[in-house]
Amino acid sequence: MPIEIKQVDLDLLAAYAAIPISFTVESILRVDVIDGGLGGLALVEEKADPPYVKYYGQDSDDESDSPIAWPQQFDVSRWGIFLAYDGPRPVGGAAVAIDTPGLNVLEDRRDLAVLWDIRICADVRGRGIGAALLRHAAGWAGQQGCTQLKIETQNVNVPACRFYAGQGCTLGAIHRYGYAACPPVAHEAMLLWYLDL
């Protein structure tokens, strides 16, 4: 049965949140500084020793990172929230933020959309569901008048970096200290990808 992607209302955020977002970190992209930064930055892949599982907010009782909390934190009235279904089962999701006051990642640009979240069930990864969701999200953002889609990931998520590069995204920024205010992930670098729509 083919995967079907549907835009959903907020009443399905619990189903969206139930889709796991964890992955195994087997390698990282180490950020090397060249000539004190004047020569740029280089990303060098190295094995994670030991490998570990990275959870995005699912390893704590704090639900503030959960999709269920989005409406309490942000005005999501203009967001696009999508679920990918394999038959009746939700197997993936994507959320796109646009025109949201106070959401700094939008850079005060009305022509910029942000892929706020994307997640795929582990047992169906590698079947093209992520690519279909990204295409769908990008298409929706373009229909809303956006000219670029911004995507944030980290240097510990090498598969995501390869995925975004393979989907035509361009790495626009490496922020070595992007998570300095969050001690559990302060060692990670923020990578910002951009897709022209």
Q: Where are the alpha helices (DSSP H) in the chain?
A: 13-17, 70-73, 129-143, 158-166
**How many structural domains are present in the chain?**
1
Residues linked to residue 113 through DSSP beta bridges, in sequence order: 98, 149
What size, in residues, is the chain?
Answer: 197
Report whether 113 contacts 98 (CB < 8 A): yes
pLDDT, one tens digit per residue, over 95-152 is 999 999 999 999 999 999 999 999 999 999 999 999 999 999 999 999 999 999 999 9
DSSP state of 71: H
Q: What is the pTM of this model?
A: 0.94
User: Smallest Cα–Cα separation from 196: which of 152, 138, 145?
Assistant: 138
Give the C-alpha separation, 151 to 66, whole Å. 18
User: Residue 191: which CATH number?
Assistant: 3.40.630.30
Report whether 54 contacts 25 (CB < 8 A): yes
pLDDT range class, residue 1, cuts 50, 70, 90: low
Domain around 90: 4-196
